[in-house]
Structure 1
Amino acid sequence: MGNSSSMLTQYDIEEVQEHCNHAFSQQEILSLYNRFCQLDKNSGGFVSADEFMSVPEFAVNPLAQRLLRMLDGLNFKEFVAFLSAFSPRTTRHQKIEFIFKVYDSDCNGKVTFDDILCILRDLSGSFMSEQQRQKVLMHVFQEAGYTPDSSLVFSDFMKIFGNSELKMEVEVPID
């Protein structure tokens, strides 16, 4: 897939749609491609961490460093697959799978108390002390029936988040 919208063929669009489980319409994929090309400043076909950090909304996100681990070096098809977690057409299961990947910092298929504590630290900053964070997280773990020694796998996340309302949607502007 080239670096201008005129180089994105109908076949490419359909292939990307299939890859992201039809989370985006063809129009949205074209808009995402234009945005991808704007981010890909060196026209290499991949977006680097530095290029992502050039987006002000991304740069101020407290989870930016964790997300960069998932984003650095993505080609267009992978970029759209990543963004598909934020589509209103994506299932709850897919959204929870995305959240799990954000929390699983070492990519071992398990989320520990310390992994969640790190996220809480990123999100709360100086608004909470380390002791307050640990106390809150300990309470949440106990309420969910886990101990601080527990390692949560994806099915645990499904159980915890399965009935929660997940507000993970971003509107893709159509150019």
Structure 2
Amino acid sequence: MGNTSSMLTQYDIEEVQEHCNNLFTQQEIVSLYKRFCQLDRSAKGFISSDEFLSVPEFAMNPLSQRLLKMVDCLNFKEFVAFLSAFSTKASIQQKIECWYSQHTIIFKVYDIDGNGKVSFKEILSVLRDLTGSYMSENQREQVLSDVLEEAGYTTESSLLLNDFIKVYHSVVSKNTNFNILQYPTGRMIQGKTNYRVLTVNNCESCTQQSIILDCPGFNTVETIDPRIIYKG
């Protein structure tokens, strides 16, 4: 798999599938390999950070600049492992431990100075990127303080990996009534990733009407048939 001009063998596919904890099917891995080859324009066997920025879904991510330090010079196996951390099939533990036993993709994003600990100021800095003008600085500080307190920490705490897992899990495990889920189908359409979007209403006693899905910056390359939108 060092040269992107070569084809994947069945052994390669199974090896990559095992490396990503079976979060992608074999067909999805083949599709990802085609995408990898498109990004690796000079067929050098790895993707540079600049080539990663050519992916609209990545470039538009508010954390893209922070993620770049982790995606430079990825070979195909590392490329799939990186993407597996964002798979909706991944468990919390898999998302957190997908790359290294002592470090994680998510943890590294927040550990800005790379000292192996995450501080209140570092989390706040990432929150600024995520929330932009939608939240004031006071609101961000209050929300973060509440989250830390609920998990048993304070704004003065320095979170090690296990501490971070505890805080992160307490946030993502909370149930909400209405969720919007998005994940790649493994198909490529005119060189672009095809996504499936699910809306989930967990409230049995309330209904949602006139739902509008708006994806700023994303342009579909084919006409969307309204009949594909259905009630499950």
Give the alignment's TM-score, normalised by structure 2: 0.66
Classify the secondary structure of the residue corresponding to 1:86. coil
Q: Is the 8 A contact 1:109 1:154 kept in 2?
A: yes
Query: Distance in 2 between the 1:9 and 1:152 partners?
Result: 43
Q: Does 1:170 align with 2:177?
A: no
Cα deviation 1:28-53 (Å, max 9, x = unaligned): 11000001111112221111111111
Tell me what 1:34 maps to: 34
Tell me what 2:74 maps to: 74
Relative to 1, partners in 2 of residues 1:162 and 1:136: Cα closer, same or farther, differing over 3 Å? closer
In structure 1, what residue type is equivalent to 2:70?
Answer: M
Classify the secondary structure of the residue corresponding to 1:151. coil
- Please identify which structure carries the higher strand content: 2
Structure 2 runs not aligned, ≥5 long: 98-104, 189-232
Q: Is the 8 A contact 2:111 2:117 kept in 1?
A: yes
Task: Give the CA RMSD over aligned residues.
Answer: 2.4
Q: Does 1:142 align with 2:149?
A: yes
Q: Does 1:25 align with 2:63?
A: no
Q: Is the 8 A contact 1:113 1:149 kept in 2?
A: yes
Structure 1 runs not aligned, ≥5 long: none
Q: Is the 8 A contact 2:62 2:129 kept in 1?
A: yes
Classify the secondary structure of the residue corresponding to 2:154. coil
Query: Distance in 2 between the 1:86 and 1:165 partners?
Result: 18
Tell me what 1:62 maps to: 62
* 1:92 positional shift: 1.9
Of 125, 134, 139, which residue of structure 1 is paired with 2:132? 125
Relative to 1, partners in 2 of residues 1:152 and 1:125: Cα closer, same or farther, differing over 3 Å? same
Higher RCO, Cα 8 Å, sep 6+: 1
Instruction: Give runs of aligned pairs for residues 1-16 of structure 1, distance below 5 A.
Output: 1=1, 2-4=3-5, 7-16=7-16
Percent of aligned pairs with the same amino acid: 64
In structure 1, what residue type is equivalent to 2:186?
Answer: P
Moved more, 47-56 or 86-95: 86-95
Cα deviation 1:62-105 (Å, max 9, x = unaligned): 11111112111111110000111123442220224443232222
In structure 2, what residue type is equivalent to 1:19?
Answer: H
Q: Is the 8 A contact 1:37 1:43 kept in 2?
A: yes
Query: Distance in 2 between the 1:114 and 1:32 partners?
Result: 36
Query: Distance in 2 between the 1:105 and 1:99 partners?
Result: 11
* 1:57 positional shift: 2.0
Query: Distance in 2 between the 1:99 and 1:32 partners?
Result: 22
Of 112, 120, 141, which residue of structure 1 is paired with 2:119? 112
Tell me what 1:155 maps to: 162
Give the alignment's TM-score, normalised by structure 1: 0.85
